Amino acid sequence: MKSRIFKAALASMIAVPVATAAFAADLEVTHWWTSGGEAAAVAEFAKAFNEKTDHNWIDGAIAGSGGTARPIIVSRIIGGEPMGATQLNHGRQAEELIEAGLMLDLTEIAEAEGWADFVNPSKLLDACTLDGRIYCAPVNIHSTQWIWLSHEAFAKAGLDVPSDWDEFVAAAPALEGAGVVPLAMGQQSWQTNLAFGALAVALVDDAAWTEVNVNKNAEVAGGPDYRRVFEAFDNARKLAVGSNVNDWNQATNLVITGQAGGQIHGDWAQGEFQVAGQVAGQDYTCLPGLGFREVLDTGGDAFYFPKQDDPEIEAAQKELAALLLSKDVQVAFNLKKGSLPIRGDIDMSTANDCMQKGIQILNAGNVLPSGDINFSRDTQNQFEDLMTTFWNDHSITVEQVQADYAAIVAAAD
Ligand code: GAL
């Protein structure tokens, strides 16, 4: 705040615009956080940057989720129109940009700030590291192994809220009878792929999951353990007939308003329940591992800083990187985002029941590497295309989709 007043005073004394003054940089920050909960969360970053530094946050929100935003972000960087900073998922999404020398090396700032001492789990810092150098500032842990259930919808059907996926499936006819769509699902391919991933984590054991997702074992992907997952996924697509929405937050809204029974989705859905004034345990229930396994992946978001030949911008980039991981900013942002902080040393006692569940699972060490860490973006795109094609074309059989899945795993990088 002090710096704002100073900037305003300076502007009135001299006739040049403040943005051209030597101490301040305008930093364009791109991200795909445009839903109600997401916008509230990213506003915490902007506020902290504007109040605590001399620089200005220029918001570059891109609507339409990561699937739309990522190619725009990457092509701007490759095409010589880099932004000051950008959200991506930590993991392998920026690998090629880093290899091409287009991203700012943050190692010095990470060491000065002691990131290695508090980033938890430490693997998250590895997900920002290439050849021993750190290229991103991780800001949260997001997990995708959840189902979000509407109390209002189950009340309409005269049923208790289910405690696992099997009970959810068993409840579907009664939900339908009460005019409720059992499963909410948006039409973007990453959403169907996310649901498949959540079913896989819930239904296969660790060994089979690791074989497919870490060791890329096509035999296990095409075998009996994964057959169960595809059968459940086949069931899921039938339960979602009637869910005619596109964006993930529209699907969450069907759950919030009791028009749908549940949504298999990432924990960022919490931001929407929060904005709608709903209370975990009272208006909605969250089941990690779809009620079968208390396990989370450690995906999430990170900020990358495309290189720019401008020392003022670079100074602002480094200040933002440090600020994003600072204690207060981590608490304020993650409480609104519904994600877990990347610091193990901060007080999250005001987090809601669902976040507390997530924190407990994390503290117990029941974590898995995320798809963004295990697979290249190209392989992820192939999974997404396959899952959404199967989801929408009910003439494709479980046998066919599983064979195609195993083929992608066999060629995966
Ligand atoms: C994910 C991102 C989350 C959330 C979600 C939906 O890729 O990690 O922060 O925003 O997309 O937009």
Digit-by-digit pLDDT tens for the chain (413 residues) are 334 443 444 333 433 334 444 469 999 999 999 999 999 999 999 999 999 999 999 999 999 999 999 999 999 999 999 999 999 998 888 999 999 999 999 999 999 999 999 999 988 999 999 999 999 999 999 999 999 999 999 999 999 999 999 999 999 999 999 999 999 999 999 999 999 999 999 999 999 999 999 999 999 999 999 999 999 999 999 999 999 999 999 999 999 999 999 999 999 999 999 999 999 999 999 999 999 999 999 899 999 999 999 999 999 999 999 999 999 999 999 999 999 999 989 999 999 999 999 999 999 999 998 888 899 999 999 999 999 999 999 999 999 999 999 999 999 98
Candidate of 30, 31, 32 to mutate for ligand 1, largest count of ligand atoms within 8 Å of Cβ? 32
**Which H/E stretch holds residue 296?**
strand 296-297
Residues 352, 249 within the same domain: no
The domain total for the chain is 2
How many angstroms separate the alpha carbon of residue 354 from the centre of ligand 1?
17
Residue nearest to atom 1 of ligand 1 (CA): 66
Residues 355, 394 within the same domain: no
Residues 210, 323 within the same domain: no
Residues 266, 159 within the same domain: yes
What is the span of the domain harbouring residue 128?
Answer: 4-141+300-364
How many angstroms separate the alpha carbon of residue 60 from the centre of ligand 1?
15
Atom of ligand 1 nearest to the CA of 32: 12
How many angstroms separate the alpha carbon of residue 53 from the centre of ligand 1?
27
Candidate of 142, 250, 267, 304 to mutate for ligand 1, largest count of ligand atoms within 8 Å of Cβ? 142
Residues 237, 311 within the same domain: no
Residues 229, 315 within the same domain: no
Does the beta carbon of 333 sit less than 6 angstroms from any atom of ligand 1? no
pLDDT in the model for residue 10: 39
pLDDT in the model for residue 20: 43
Residues 14, 123 within the same domain: yes
Residues 121, 60 within the same domain: yes
pLDDT in the model for residue 307: 98
Q: Residue-wise over 250-272: b if at least 16 C-beta within 10 A, else e? A: bbbbbbbebbbbbbbbbbbbbbb
Does the beta carbon of 211 sit less than 6 angstroms from any atom of ligand 1? no
Residue nearest to atom 12 of ligand 1 (CA): 65
Q: Tally the C-alpha atoms within 13 A of residue 257's C-alpha that lie toward its C-beta.
A: 10
Does the beta carbon of 118 sit less than 6 angstroms from any atom of ligand 1? no
pLDDT in the model for residue 272: 97
Atom of ligand 1 nearest to the CA of 89: 8
Residues 190, 226 within the same domain: yes
Please write down the long-range contacts of 385-393, taking CB distance under 8 Å and 24 or more positions apart: 385/189, 387/189, 387/192, 387/193, 387/195, 387/196, 387/233, 388/187, 388/188, 388/189, 388/192, 388/193, 390/192, 390/233, 390/237, 391/185, 391/192, 391/237, 391/240, 392/237
pLDDT in the model for residue 27: 98
How many angstroms separate the alpha carbon of residue 174 from the centre of ligand 1?
32
Residues 120, 210 within the same domain: no
Residues 97, 227 within the same domain: no
pLDDT in the model for residue 90: 87
CATH of the domain at 388: 3.40.190.10
**Which H/E stretch holds residue 148?**
strand 146-150
d(CA 261, CA 245): 15
